[in-house]
Amino acid sequence: MLRLIQLNRNVRSIRRYRQIITVLGGYGLEHLVEYLNLSQVVAFSRRMLRRPSKVAHLSAPERLRLAFEELGPTFIKLGQLLSTRADIIPPNFVQELTHLQDNIPCISFEEIRGQIEHELGVPLGQRFAYVEPEAIAGASIAQVHRATLITGEDVVVKVRRPGVMEAVETDIDILMGVALLLERHMARSDIYDPVGVVREFSYTIRREMDLSREGHAIERIRDNFHGDATLYFPQVYWEATAKGVLTTEYVDGIKVSDTGVIEEAGLDRREIAQRGARAFLKMVLEHGFFHGDPHPGNVLILPGNVICLLDYGMVGRLDPAVKRYLTDVLGAVISRDVEGLAHIIVEAGDAAETVNMHALKKGLAEFMDSYLEIPLKEIVVGRMLLEFIDLVSTHRIKVHPDLTLLVKVLVVVEGMGRKLDPEFDMVGHLRPFLEREFRQQRSPGRLLREMEQGLEGYLTLARNFPRDMKEILNKINRNKFRIDLEHRGLDRFSKELDRSANRVCLSLIIAALLIGSSIAMQINHGPMLWGFPIFAFFGYSCAGLVGIWWMVAILRSGRL
């Protein structure tokens, strides 16, 4: 049974591979496949596909965005993830992928009804008095319907699309295969870490498909802001929630982007901007757990300047080490401490074996000089951090993925703040949080805890050292001690060497056929064909056919 399931999965993967290659070729992106050294696939795409004239005038980032949209849910989510990773893709691609449209036609209500009943395990009427047949929103993973519970509450029901999990798993298998190829063939793959990116993506999208996790995220953030009357969080109705269905309170408010309507309602735009900034910075710097997609459509304004956040499918997490790194970096940038910033980056970041400190400090100095004449209140912190991440990654230093997501979110939050209040000053809101964090880092209690943790680590090392040494010595005595050496960057060289050796061998075979046939041509005995010795004729024919096939193969590979 397991073999049949695996076989079916492999068949789906092959079909999906073909579809992906066809779509990429249709948008003139065959070079992506060629970059992976898949010469046979490239030959197929060049024979079968031509770039349509309708996309020939578009830039490469635009064509990649359109291809991702056509390839469906997994690639849309992958593009959205890559749009937060300014450390691994160029800025023009980051900017274009932020425009990915996650709008997929909604499926019929009968399918949704069956999905709800399947997930909840009961007939629809046992949980809902009414469900609106027309969806109010549709995306790649799920679609949303208004409804009324049997107890009378107005709610919204988010339902995962049928079959989406199987499609996503197939795509993840394919992406992992592509990532392994990239790791072998891509320069500086140790910095870009394609396998790590796919693992991060698979973890994120699997969590996002479990809608019950979104409900837990709502409640966690609500608990973090317990007693804060400036924020409102929709209630989760767990009796009508499962892994594939999320039922939450329907909240009626004004979109934060509708500034005219906000003013007509008598609400204070400046106060809303200040509350939003404080809430976001508190999520990040105090709680370490923040809303990962606060675009204007997910932010509602309620009476009393109260802010309500919707759609918690994407959240970010910052552990204490990353929070400290972030606060140290921001503190060094605001105080314009180049030397300190360079050491923070190298000590806390995942750097390459050799970092050119002189070049790094020079780049950081130029980065800070570009903001030297700008008043602090006019600095756009999100944009500044995007430039910082781009600078750091050029020096082969990895950046924590959640930190790149945070920077993207910060850009969105600052944009909303400045639209609400042209005098919005993120640095002014940020400074009290940084000062408080610095005081806490230097507090006696924090220092004592860090000393205890460090001492505990040394004690563990001392406790395990004799056992580890004994194990090493035992392996040496039993001749089982082995050191593995890994040659990196030689795969492409080995393949090119094999290809060259094969061509030399083929050349020798052709030459041998020609020489042997020429000798046979001088013999007048044996079977003849059209007056020529048949063995000579056969040798010339084989040499000619092999030579023609060889030249065609070389021309198709594009490498003369």
Residue 51 lies in a domain: no
| Residues of the domain holding 221 | 103-250
> Are residues 167 and 259 both part of a single domain?
no
Of 171, 193, 293, 328, catalytic: 293
Banded model confidence at residue 39, pLDDT cuts 50, 70, 90? very low
> Are residues 407 and 367 both part of a single domain?
yes
pLDDT higher than 80, residue 87: no
- What is 162-211 written as a DSSP string? TTHHHHHHHHHHHHHHHHHHHHHHSTTHHHH-HHHHHHHHHHHHHHHH-H
> Are residues 390 and 452 both part of a single domain?
no
Average pLDDT over residues 421-439: 82
Q: What is the dihedral of CA 320, 323, 328, 331, to 10 degrees?
A: -140
402 catalytic residue (yes or no): no
Residue 68 lies in a domain: no
| CA-based torsion, 250, 421, 229, 294: positive or negative | positive
The bridge status of strand 142-149 relative to strand 137-138 is: antiparallel
Q: Which two tokens stand for residue 439?
A: 């005081």
| 248-280 pLDDT, tens digit each | 999 999 999 898 999 999 999 999 999 999 999
Distance CA 96, CA 79 (A): 10
H helical segments located in 287-337: 320-335
pLDDT higher than 70, residue 138: yes
Residue 347 lies in a domain: yes
> Are residues 319 and 450 both part of a single domain?
no
Among residues 131, 251, 167, the alpha carbon closest in space to that of 175 is found at 167
Residue 25 lies in a domain: no
- Report how far Cα 525 is from the mean position of its chain's Cα atoms: 72
| 453-494 pLDDT, tens digit each | 778 878 888 888 888 888 878 877 877 777 766 665 566 666
SS3 143: strand
- Residue at which a domain ends, from 234, 250, 266: 250
Distance CA 77, CA 18 (A): 20
SS3 107: coil
> Are residues 239 and 308 both part of a single domain?
no
Measured CA to CA in angstroms, residue 78 lies from 75, 84, 166, 186, 481 at distances of 5, 10, 16, 19, 43
> Are residues 129 and 212 both part of a single domain?
yes
Distance CA 445, CA 453 (A): 12
- Residue at which a domain ends, from 454, 481, 508: 481
> Are residues 285 and 218 both part of a single domain?
no
Q: Which amino acid is at 275?
A: R
Residue 8 lies in a domain: no
Residue 509 lies in a domain: yes
Question: 163's torsion region: left (phi>0), alpha (psi -120 to 50) or beta?
Answer: left
> Are residues 448 and 437 both part of a single domain?
no
Banded model confidence at residue 307, pLDDT cuts 50, 70, 90? very high
pTM of the model: 0.71
> Are residues 434 and 543 both part of a single domain?
no
> Are residues 146 and 167 both part of a single domain?
yes
> Are residues 272 and 395 both part of a single domain?
yes
Average pLDDT over residues 124-150: 91
H helical segments located in 349-490: 357-369, 381-394, 401-420, 426-441, 444-477
- Residue at which a domain ends, from 225, 250, 275: 250
Average pLDDT over residues 25-37: 64
> Are residues 418 and 509 both part of a single domain?
no
Number of domains observed in the structure of the chain: 4
Residue 419 lies in a domain: yes
Distance CA 495, CA 45 (A): 22
Residue 46 lies in a domain: no
